[in-house]
Amino acid sequence: MDVKPTERQKERYTYQDYVKWDGRWELINGVPYNMAPAPSFVHQSIVGELYVALRAFFREKGCAVVMAPFDVRFDEQADYEQAKHVVQPDISVICDQSKIGSRGCDGPPDLVVEVLSPSTALKDRNEKYKLYEQFDVKEYWIVDPLHRTVEVYGRGEKGYEKRSVFGEGDVLVSFLFADWTVSLAGIFQNIEGEG
């Protein structure tokens, strides 16, 4: 699919359109976002380190930990075949495995991790933040390779609240799963650049 920015603003798409397109895409409010170019080495290194740390813990809890590309569909009426929101979080933790099907996850994961890249940072901080908040993803981490930080957002009474910002020298704590921690020095080791 080749979508020009002006066309993108006029046309709204659903999951039924999305599955026909070549390449990697995301849909937010029916608007397509091309996932090219591929993520950098730094981005993938951080995703890999976090995945290993999360998977070891959550396997014992009966939760699935999945890396992109993996579709997560959101829909206000739970009509996932017509969903106008389809995203591929860098990491998803899904404890209700009945949400997982052959086409991905239907409904909110418990925890979503997005590692910022220069080409996706605004989308991760704005559109995806609002989407995850709207559909009750319980915890959202934004990992910033440039500043070597992890921002942790959790559900509050009126939406997301920033719980904490962890730096490279800190031990990251999940507020949703308080018995899980990881040293960020190990996550950010051997990386240079901005993701």
Instruction: Judge whether 99 lies within some domain.
Output: yes
* pLDDT tens-place string over residues 96-141: 999 999 999 999 999 999 999 988 899 999 999 999 999 999 999 9
**Residue 5: per-residue pLDDT:** 44
Triad 95, 57, 63: Cα angle to 5° = 15
Task: State the total domains in the chain.
Answer: 1
Examine residue 193 and state whether it is found in any structural domain, yes or no. Answer: no
Beta-carbon-side half-sphere exposure of residue 159 (alpha carbons within 13 Å)? 6
Sheet holding 139-144, edge to edge: 64-67, 91-94, 111-115, 139-144, 149-156, 159-167
Written as one letter, the residue type at 160 is Y
Residue 189 pLDDT level (bands cut at 50, 70, 90): confident
CATH number at residue 141: 3.90.1570.10
Is residue 124 situated within a structural domain? yes
Instruction: Give domain status of residue 59, yes or no.
Output: yes
Q: What are the two backbone dihedrals, phi and then psi, of residue 110, each rounded to the nearest 5 degrees?
A: -75, -40
pLDDT, residue 37, reads 83
Q: Tell me the percentage of the chain whose pLDDT exceeds 90.
A: 76
Does this model's pTM top 0.75? My answer is yes
Q: Is the pLDDT of residue 8 over 60?
A: no
CA distances in angstroms from 64 to 56, 73, 135, listed in the order given: 10, 16, 19
Measured distance between the N- and C-terminal CA atoms of the chain, rounded to whole angstroms: 26
Tokens of 115: 């590692």
- Tens digits of per-residue pLDDT, 11-49? 889 999 999 999 999 999 999 999 878 889 999 999 999
Domain membership flag for residue 160: yes
Place of tokens 């359109």: 17
For residue 110, give its domain range.
38-186
